[in-house]
Every structure is written in structure tokens, then in C-alpha cells.
Amino acid sequence: MLIWSPKGRAAAGVVASALFIVFFFLPLAVILMSSLSQQWNGILPSGFTLNHFVNALHGAAWDALLASLTIGFCASLFALLCGVWAALALRQYGVKTQKWLSMVFYLPSAIPSVSVGLGILVAFSQGPLQMNGTLWIVLTAHFVLISAFTFSNVSTGLARISADIENVASSLGASPWYRLRHVTLPLLMPWMMSALALSLSLSMGELGATMMIYPPGWTTLPVAIFSLTDRGNIADGAALTIVLVAITLLLMMKLERIAKRLGHK
């Protein structure tokens, strides 16, 4: 095929690089320049300042950052716990049953986040489980939206662990609880950390469902960015976007490094 020839590979590399620059690098570069711009009336900013980043680390913007981190970690840890439990439980069933039950976990990822937010708002605005206006309704929405990805990562890791390892532990007299703590979970830990990193990044950037249900005092970074840009404060919104991207990337890199370290043990 043409793509496997030297010229084909070179052409594919050029196209991939061009697409990366146009759809990823340039938008980030524009956001970065906007966050540093003192005034932007022409093709390029007429001056640069760090005041927008100062604003992004004080007052309501700082509260939004703390809210995003709190919601992200709490929802991701709970999703990880449920994902591990579900993946381990599904191993006890046959292939067909596993397939149908897995679809239940993957279903939220196929539903638009706005629909998920509306459904949760309607379901928990009255009755015995009324959570409207509280932090719990936001945590519930984020958990529903990220649980499918956590379950998928953990299931993939569990499928790569040979059953012979656990069988050997059982033959040596290990109880199911001991086998889980000292054999299965340590082997599964790299995929668990990767699932946590992915869930955290998805939660940190979630906007659609959060816009419909967030209570006063729990404005997340994406909601704060949307509010700033909607009011015409593009520069402060851009600075807050850079902060969101930087913190999310740093957290993902740290968690992925931990996952690789655990995978080499």
C-alpha cells in the first residue's frame, strides 16, 4: 500500500502534523495569547500582562478551582471503587451475561451530558432522595458520566491478568480476601491508576450536566469559564482555561507516572 512506502509515510506524517497544529496547537496558542493580552484590537495583542492569571487565582475563580478538584477527586475515587467492584463481580458470570451487564455500565457514556444532568435534576428534586441544591447532586452527575470509562479501564486490566496466577494462590491455601488484597489488586493497580487519571480529567472538564445542577458555592472551573466568556470577559476566561488545562495535565502525568511505576514492580 502507498502509506507503507517512504513517501507515503512522510505524507501521512505531514498531514498528521498539520492536523495537530490546526486543531490542537493553534487554539491553545490563541487562548494563551488571549490570557496574556493587555488589549487585543488587531491581529496580535498590543500588550501583555499577568493580571488575568492573578485574577484566576483569587476570589471566585480560586473557589471554582477548589470546587473542581474536590468534586473531581471524590467522584473519581467513588467511580474507581464501583468500577473495580463491578469488574470483579462480572467475572463470576458467563460471557453473554457479562456482555449485557457491561452495556448497563457503558450506557451513560452514550447519553449526552445535558440529558444526564436533566434526568438527575428531575429525579432528585423531590422525594426521599432530594439532593437539589447540594453538592451531592453534582457528585452524582459526575459519577454517572465517568463510571463507564473507569469500568472499561479496570475491565481491560482484569482481562490481561492470567487466571492461573489466582489459581496458584488458591492452591497454596490463600483465602478469597487474601487473594484479592495481595494478588489481584496489586496486579490491577496500574490500570486502576490509569482509570483514576482518565476519570479525573473528564470530571475536571465536565460542563453540560454541571451547568444544570450546580448549587451556589460549588461553581466548577468549566462553569466559571463559561460565565466569564458569556459576559464578554474573554481574557480572564482564557487565563482560567490555561489554569484548568495545566492542572489537569499535571495531575494526569503524575497519576500515569505512578501507574507506570506500579506496573514495573
Number of domains in the chain: 2
Residue 54 included in any domain: no
CATH number at residue 164: 1.10.3720.10
Please state the pTM of the whole predicted model: 0.84
5 & 134 share domain: no
One domain, residues 111 and 226: yes
Task: Report pLDDT for 81.
Answer: 93
Q: 204 lies in a domain?
A: yes
Per-residue pLDDT reduced to its tens digit, 116-133? 999 999 888 887 788 888
- 48 - beta bridge partners? 37
Question: In this structure, are residues 142 and 206 in contact, taking their beta carbons and an 8 Å threshold?
Answer: yes
* Residues 44 and 96 reside in one and the same domain: no
In a domain? residue 227: yes
Are 18 and 137 members of one domain?
no
Which grid cell sits at 200?
479525573
Residue 98 lies in a domain: yes
Residue ending a domain, choose from 27, 49, 71: 49
The Cα 239–Cα 229 span in angstroms is 11
By the 8 A CB rule, do 83 and 195 touch?
yes
φ, ψ dihedrals at 217, nearest 5°: 90, -10
199, part of any domain: yes
Q: Dump pLDDT digits (tens) for 29-86.
A: 888 888 888 777 767 777 778 888 888 788 888 899 999 999 999 999 999 999 899 8
In which domain, by residue range, is 11 found?
1-49
**Are residues 1 and 30 both part of a single domain?**
yes
Residues 112 and 210 in one domain: yes
| Domain assignment present for 66 | yes
